Each structure stands twice: as C-alpha cells, then as structure tokens.
Amino acid sequence: GETFLPYYTGLAIDGIVVQKSMDRFSTAVLVMSLLAIGSSFAAGIRGGVFTLIFARLNIRLRNCLFRSLVSQEMSFFDENRTGWFLSPPGFALTSLSHPRFFSPRLALLSYSRLGADRGSTRMLVVRNRGRKLFTFFVFLIFMLTPRAASCTVRDPQLRAQRTNVSTRSLGCCVSNDKCTKISIVLADSGLFFLFQLTLLVVQVSILYYGGHLVISGQMTSGNLISFIIYEFVLGDCMESIGSVYSGLMQGVGAAEKVFEFIDRKPMMVHDGSLAPDHVDGKVEFRNVTFSYRTRSATQVLQNVSFTLHPGKVTALVGPSGSGKSSCVNILENFYPLQDGQVLLDGHPINMYDHKYLHSVISLVSQEPVLFARSIADNISYGLTSASFESVVQAAQKANAHNFITELQDGYHTEAGEKGAQLSGGQKQRVAIARALIRAPPILILDEATSALDAESEHAIQQAIYGDLQNHTVLVIAHRLSTVERAHNIIVLDKGRVVQQGSHKELMEEGGLYSKLVQRQILGLEGGGTDSVQPAARGDSVKAPSGLEEEFRIDHSLPAVAQDDFPNAAPK
C-alpha cells in the first residue's frame, strides 16, 4: 500500500492543478486513505508477529546458552573471563534477535518496496528517454554512495588491524587506541558529509530537471511530485538494505561466539550413577597427582595420600599455595585427576551421581555466596522441604540465631545481593547454618570461621564436635584455634604431605607445623622462623628482640574440655 501513495499523491495534485476536477481529487484522496489504513493494519500485524518470533528466539537462545554454560567443567570458567558471561552474551543475543540487526521482515520489506518503487518510477518516465537517463544516474548515485562509505570506513579499520598486529613496535611510540579512535571519527565525519551532500545534490538535481520538464510540458506537476517522492523512498530503501547488511555482519560476529559456547561439549563428563541410600563418609586420597589445565606445567598436588575418617575432624594446614583448597576441589569432583584416586566409602567419586555427590557433601567457603532472598530462604536454599523449626535450629548451631532475631524482620530480612546487608561474620554464620541444616555426611569448612570472633567460633565448634557421629569433617584454616583440637592434622607443603598427626604429636615432632604455630604466636608474617624452636601449650618463647615473654598457643579461644563434646570420637 505504501508503494502507491506517491502515485496517488501525484494524481490528487493533478486533479487540483491541471484538471481542476473535485471528483478526481476526491477519488485519489479516498484511495490514499484506504491504502494508508490497510498498510498500517498490515504493518501492525507484521510487526507483532515478527516481534513475537524474535522474542521467542531470544528466549530459546538464552536458555540454550545457560544450559550449556552450567554443564561445563570448572576448567572452562578458569580459562574464560567471568565478565564475558555477565555482559557480552546479553549484547550478543540482543544482536542476534533484534530486528535492527537481523530482520528478514526489514529486508523483505525493503526489497519489495525497492522493486515496486522502481517499477512505479519506470512507469512515470517510460515515455521519455531523458527521464530514463536521469533516473538511471540518480539510482546509480544511491548505489555508489554506500559502497564509497564502506570503503571509507574499511580503511581505518584496516589501519587499526595493522596497528594491533604491530603493537609491540608501535607501543613505545604512539597511543594505538587514540590513533584508531581518531581515524574512525574522521571516517564517520567524512561519511556523514558525503551522504548528506549526495542527498542535497540529488534533491536539487531532481527539482531542477523536473521543473524544466514541467515548464516544457513533458511532465505534469503531479508526476513531478510523485517522481520526487519515489526517489526519496528509493533512497530510504537503499539505506534500509545497507542497515540490514550491516546488522547481518554484526549478528554473524555475535553468533560465532554464542554458538561456540552452545555447541561446546564439556571435557569432563559426569556420567556416574551410584546413589546409595546411606553414606558412611570415609574419604581416601590415594596417590593423587593433580594440576590445573590453565597451569598444566605446575603440579599442585604430588602423590598425596591421606584418609578422612567418619566421626572425626581432620584439618589441612600449610602455607598459601600448598594445595589445601585443591584437595577440596578434587573431593567435590570439580576437576579430573592426572593420577591416583579419591574414594568415598571405597568407591571412586566419579562413579557417584554428580548431583547425589554434592547432596552428601556440604562446603562452607571463606567467601560464602548468599542470594538476594530472605535469611530463612538462604539457610534452606536447595532443600525441597525444610520446616521453619529446622531453619532456627541450624541457625542456633551456627550461633546466628541471636543476630537474626535482632534484625527488624528477623528470619524474613532480605540478605541483599551477595549478602550485602550482612557483615562478613554474619554471612559466614548464615552459610554455616545452610550447611548444618542438611546434616551432611561430609562437612568441609574452608576458612569458614575466618571472620568470626572467638565466642562465635567456640559455639560453632561445640555444635560440630557435639554431633560428630553424623559427620566427617574437613577443616582448612590458618587460625590455630580452629585446627588444634582436630583429631588429625595433615600438613601440606608444595603439594606434598610432609606431616600428619595430632596437634601435640606434631608440636613434639617439630618441622613445618611447629614453625607455622610459632610464626602465628609471634605474629610473624615473613621469614625468620627457622631459629624458633617448637613450643608446647603454655611454654614460653623467646622473641627475636631478646625479650622474654610468655606466649600461649590459644589466647583468643577459651579452653574447651573434651567432656564438652560427649559425642566426639576419641583421639
């Protein structure tokens, strides 16, 4: 309908100016009105249908991308920047589904209007060779302008590519980013100037030549108006087609990255099916050797062997980078092993169903993740059914009940995004409550009490030690008060087990553990521990300054008798 509006506009003008007939004018206006109504109605239906199609396409792409990402192994996220998953996928998916960038509707509409407009324009000029030649030149200008513009833009892009390739040579001499931006700005300015100048020249030329034809009687004023409108519509169609082409190129670039992740198959397949009704919780590391794929040349763990016994607390200690957290990652079956085995109740962990494995293992990390939901929802997160009483009991065990009840909305208080409304210690206690409510056979505390005061840590230790018959506990901590009561302490250094035993045994043995203890007692962060001799609880230690002072191993935490833990397994 829109294609014939210029033609009937010319007829309406001829009806007034040339024929001076009200009937012809009214007929032309009526036809224009009907065409406008029909065209608008069709455009509304067409726009609604395509909007629905692209919205559904966007949803399907997002769901496919999300399913693919959550099924990838941990090494995949180590190798890719987190920022890409937060922002660019949204832009890429929008690029793929936004009508401006990828629109068959716009392309088909532009091509159909272009063909109809050319046909209608040809109908206006078919009787005059001069008009044919003039129309050809106008159309040629509209065709060549986008091509010249693309060459103008491509030149600075090529220079930018050469600049990126020669970054090492140019980095000391020029600002690559500034040069590239200036070139693109100049290209855009030149493109805008060229396009506007071309349009103005075409307008003036059409008006001048058309006026000459009207004065000489070779064309009516109505035909001139129709011709001018058609030429402008022709230019608009050409611009739309150029926009569609540009959008397709951007869409292809975005699609390449999106579909690369959608089609990617996880390199670590969790195909285990073992899901017993009961797990004792005995974990055994047998000659485990491991390195991260991003650092394949560095062995994080080398021939590591130890056992976690049910009903006992085992502590992993050692300098930073010794492999403590890597042991946790392996136990969670997040990474494949280079050599050795990790057994749970005598079965390799990769034989267990992945979802089941994580249902029997609860991990509390140093930086717990809380969601923008209520505290009660965060504690019961992931459980299909959890009563409010069980939530309160878990919070009491984690020494979180008191501070929660002091909040205005109590357990219904929103934790905020990533727990922004809570302090570091409060977040850790909520995370510990979330682990305890599950009563997991295996409980892992990775620096889980680093932000807690002595009283809170003591209360949590009472809850954990008092219910050891139901847990196998693995503790990773640098704070001495957290690990000294563990039944077994495993000392790691440079990926190897160098010592193993109780706190008393290791202090009597000397070695790395006693050095770590003395370093913490003396408050030393650097070296200089080699000259410090081991000291048992209550022994005095001579500080490097030569002053004789008495340091006790546990000043911050009150001494807890073994009788406080009636259910604890004997050492």
Q: Which residues, 6 or more positions from 321, have their beta carbon under 8 angstroms from its beta carbon?
A: none
**Per-residue pLDDT band at 144 (split at 50, 70, 90):** low
The answer on 547 and 494 residing in a single domain is no
Count Cβ atoms below 10 Å from residue 490 Cβ, excluding itself: 26
Decide if 402 is inside a domain.
yes
Mark whether 355 and 365 lie in a shared domain: no
> Is 22:14 a contact under the CB 8 Å cutoff?
no
On the question of pLDDT at 104 being above 70, the answer is no
Mean pLDDT is highest, among 149-153, 240-244, 318-322, for 318-322
What is the distance between the alpha carbons of residues 474 and 488, in angstroms, rounded to a whole number? Answer: 10
Same domain, 493 and 344: yes
- C-alpha span between 442 and 456 (Å, rounded): 22
- DSSP H or E segment with residue 325: helix 324-331
Residue 39 lies in a domain: no
Cα 269 to chain centroid, rounded: 22
Is there a single domain that holds both residue 329 and residue 378?
no
Query: In this predicted structure, what is the pLDDT of residue 247?
Result: 62
Highest mean pLDDT range out of 139-143, 501-505, 527-531?
A: 501-505
Question: Do residue 314 and residue 332 come from a single domain?
Answer: yes
For 499, phi and psi rounded to 5 degrees?
-150, 155
pLDDT in the model for residue 251: 65
Q: Average pLDDT, stretch 292-305?
A: 86
Residue 427: inside a domain: yes
Radius of gyration, CA atoms only, the chain:
38
In a domain, 528, yes or no: yes
* Residues 488 and 542 grouped into a single domain: no
Is residue 570 included in any domain, yes or no? no
365 and 484 both lie in a single domain? no
Alpha-carbon span 294 to 478, nearest angstrom: 26
355 shares its domain with 475:
yes
Residue 94 vs residue 568, higher pLDDT? 94
Residues 406 and 546 in one domain: no
Q: Is 259 contained in some domain?
A: no
Which residue has better confidence, 385 or 326?
326
Q: How far apart are CA 16 and CA 139, in angstroms?
A: 30
Question: For residue 112, what pLDDT is reported?
Answer: 46
CATH number of the domain enclosing 412: 3.40.50.300
Residue 450: inside a domain, yes or no?
no
Number of domains in the chain: 3
> Using alpha carbons only, what angle is made at residue 167 by residues 161 and 169, rounded to the nearest 5 degrees?
125
* Domain boundary residue, one of 439, 459, 489: 439
How many angstroms from the chain centroid is the CA of residue 562?
47
Which residues touch 434 (CB under 8 Å, ≥6 apart)? 362, 364, 378, 379, 380, 381, 394
355 and 384 share one domain: no
Looking at every residue in the chain, the average pLDDT score rounds to: 72
Its domain, for residue 416, covers 361-439
Each residue of 300-313: pLDDT tens digit? Answer: 899 999 999 988 88
Is the domain of 478 the same as that of 347?
yes
Burial class (CB in 10 A: 0-12, 13-18, 19+), 91: exposed
How far separated are the first and last CA of the chain, in Å rounded?
90
Q: Considering the domain boundaries, does residue 418 fall inside one?
A: yes
pLDDT digits (tens, 9 = 90+) for 170-224: 344 444 455 555 766 676 676 667 767 777 777 777 778 778 777 887 778 777 7
Q: What is the mean pLDDT of residues 66-87?
A: 73
Q: Are residues 355 and 478 in the same domain?
A: yes
